[in-house]
Amino acid sequence: MNRLHQFSKSLSFALRGLRYVIRNEKNFQNELAIGLAVVVAMIYFQVTRAEMIVLVIIIMAVLIMELVNTILERVVDILKPRVHPYARLIKDLMAASVLLTSILAVIVGIIIFIPYIMKH
């Protein structure tokens, strides 16, 4: 029972964090909406199971990178709020990592969906 209670508390904290980003982070909201649109497209085009796995992994990678970006932005704001030149650099580098992950997602989406779109 104790382990189950600990797990339940941990899950509650994680869901609270997820609720926060869904409600307060515009970029996360946009990426989540795009991810849901991709899920709808997967169903509509009836992609293969392997393609579905790849797309879900890519969607989650973008969302996870956005979460990490948000976390590091908050930490940098606490530690060095716009004082140290590295504070801006850290934020820029994290934004770049989200951008690259998003570009990867677009490329993978194009590779997977173009043949389905051409058939229709």
Q: For residue range 16-69, what is the model confidence (pLDDT) as tens digits?
A: 999 999 999 999 999 999 999 999 999 999 999 999 999 999 999 999 999 999
Q: What is the pTM of this model?
A: 0.91
Phi, psi of 82 (to 5 degrees): 55, 30
Mean pLDDT of 86-105: 94
The tens digit of pLDDT for each residue in 14-26 reads: 999 999 999 999 9
For the segment 99-109, what is each residue's pLDDT rounded down to a tens digit? Answer: 999 999 999 99
- CA–CA distance from 89 to each of 50, 71, 85, 96, 111 (Å)? 38, 15, 7, 10, 33
CATH number at residue 80: 1.10.287.3610
- The number of domains in the chain is 1
What's the CA gap between 84 and 107, in Å, rounded?
36
Q: Which domain does 91 fall in, by range?
A: 2-119
